[in-house]
Amino acid sequence: MLVFGYDPARHDRFQNDSLFLGSEFNWSGVGRGNRWAVLVSDSYVLGAAHSAPSIGSTIEFYPTNDPSDGVVLRTVIGAQQIGQSDLWLGQLDRPVGGLGQDDSMLSGGDSGGPTFTIVNGKPVLVGIHWFTYDDGNGGIGSADSIVADVSQIAALNAAMNGESLSLVNLTVLAGDMNADGVVDNLDVGPFAIALLDRMTFAQAYPEVDPDVTGDFNGDGVLTNSDIDGFSRVVAVD
Ligand SMILES: [Ca+2]
Ligand SMILES: [Ca+2]
């Protein structure tokens, strides 16, 4: 992955710089050893098979963003490639206990590095940077995987000896304008703000796309024509 305008102070959490743009989040599950490895459960990590940590190697995890503030060390004791993909699942010698949960990292030279998106204010893992062997034009190419492929999820869970991935439901709840998971009277105010002042709404509810959550007539935008539909779901709930 190429980060335009890359600046270690802003983009590399291991620099422990106050400018780091992810400083508000917990990156404790993004580990590194001789290769990247990101936690997906208490004792399993994901990476790229072509650039995976070797068996017996040590993975370092940092409970805070500060690499000088203590380190948690674990050893890779097992690994397997998921199907024919470049997705790699590694097993640690013992659970990390409380690390991980919300993590992210962007870096250059990053095979095995994770990609995240923010859902409900927390980073959610969406991909591992890996290598594709066939670009469809007779060559080879590099791309991000998307972990949320159904067959890969099943294969990962089956290989984790009773541990499992925590999946996030990205289904949009129509009318949940304040993103609290329910549609009720508390959504009336935000709905009105979205209609009248998009800038204010975006600042108050950055995780909500009003043209998706507030679109009740299916034309892809929130307008006064959606008031009737919104009123019905609020009244029902
Ligand atoms: Ca709501
Ligand atoms: Ca609409």
Pick 140 or 51 by higher pLDDT: 51
Q: Is 110 found in the same domain as 24?
A: yes
Ligand closest to the CA atom of residue 224: 2
Q: Is 130 found in the same domain as 18?
A: yes
Query: Given this model, what pLDDT does residue 150 score?
Result: 67
Q: Is 27 found in the same domain as 133?
A: yes
Instruction: Report whether pLDDT(176) > 90.
Output: yes
Q: Is 108 found in the same domain as 196?
A: no
The boundaries of the domain holding residue 46 are 8-158
Beta carbons of 100 and 124 less than 8 angstroms apart? no
**Rounded to the nearest whole angstrom, what is the distance from the C-alpha of residue 193 to the centroid of ligand 2?**
15
Instruction: Report whether pLDDT(185) > 50.
Output: yes
What b/e sequence results for 171-207 when a residue is b if at least 16 CB atoms lie within 10 Å of its CB, and e otherwise?
eeebbbbbbeeebeeebeebbebbbeeeeebeeebee
Q: Report the alpha-carbon distance of residue 221 to residue 226 in Å, rounded.
A: 9
Does residue 231 form part of some domain? Answer: yes
Q: Report the alpha-carbon distance of residue 34 to residue 115 in Å, rounded.
A: 19
**Rounded to the nearest whole angstrom, what is the distance from the C-alpha of residue 121 to the centroid of ligand 1?**
15
Q: Are strands 122-132 and 87-92 parallel, antiparallel or unpaired?
A: unpaired
Q: Report the alpha-carbon distance of residue 143 to residue 115 in Å, rounded.
A: 11
Query: Given this model, what pLDDT does residue 170 score?
Result: 67
* Side-chain-side CA neighbours of residue 43 (13 Å): 14
Average pLDDT, whole number, for the chain? 81
Q: Is 101 found in the same domain as 50?
A: yes
> 105 pLDDT band (50/70/90 cuts)?
very low
> 2 pLDDT band (50/70/90 cuts)?
low
At 124, which CATH number? 2.40.10.10
> 106 pLDDT band (50/70/90 cuts)?
very low
**Rounded to the nearest whole angstrom, what is the distance from the C-alpha of residue 234 to the centroid of ligand 1?**
10
Beta carbons of 35 and 82 less than 8 angstroms apart? no
Query: Given this model, what pLDDT does residue 195 score?
Result: 96
Q: Is 127 found in the same domain as 46?
A: yes
How large is the C-alpha radius of gyration of the chain?
A: 21
Instruction: Report whether pLDDT(213) > 70.
Output: yes
Q: Is 121 found in the same domain as 31?
A: yes
Helix axes 188-196, 227-236, angle to 10 degrees: 170
Pick 172 or 190 by higher pLDDT: 190
Please state the rounded mean pLDDT for residues 159-179: 84
**Rounded to the nearest whole angstrom, what is the distance from the C-alpha of residue 214 to the centroid of ligand 2?**
7
Helix (H, G, I), strand (E, B) or coil at 118: strand
Ligand closest to the CA atom of residue 191: 1
Instruction: Report whether pLDDT(108) > 50.
Output: no
> 75 pLDDT band (50/70/90 cuts)?
very high
Strand partners, 48: 87
**Rounded to the nearest whole angstrom, what is the distance from the C-alpha of residue 112 to the centroid of ligand 1?**
37
**Rounded to the nearest whole angstrom, what is the distance from the C-alpha of residue 219 to the centroid of ligand 2?**
5
Instruction: Report whether pLDDT(102) > 50.
Output: no
Ligand closest to the CA atom of residue 174: 1
**49 Cβ partners below 8 Å, 6+ apart?**
81, 85, 86, 87, 88, 130
Q: Is 142 found in the same domain as 81?
A: yes
**Rounded to the nearest whole angstrom, what is the distance from the C-alpha of residue 224 to the centroid of ligand 1?**
19
What b/e sequence results for 98-121 when a residue is b if at least 16 CB atoms lie within 10 Å of its CB, and e otherwise?
ebbebbbbbbeebbbbbbbeeeee
**Rounded to the nearest whole angstrom, what is the distance from the C-alpha of residue 171 to the centroid of ligand 2?**
18
Please state the rounded mean pLDDT for residues 25-31: 82
Query: Given this model, what pLDDT does residue 21 score?
Result: 78
**Rounded to the nearest whole angstrom, what is the distance from the C-alpha of residue 172 to the centroid of ligand 2?**
15
**Rounded to the nearest whole angstrom, what is the distance from the C-alpha of residue 194 to the centroid of ligand 2?**
12
Q: How many domains does one find in the chain?
A: 2
Does residue 168 form part of some domain? Answer: no
**Rounded to the nearest whole angstrom, what is the distance from the C-alpha of residue 103 to the centroid of ligand 2?**
35
User: At which of 111, 139, 158 does a domain end?
Assistant: 158
Query: Where is mean pLDDT largest: 13-22, 44-53, 97-106?
Result: 44-53
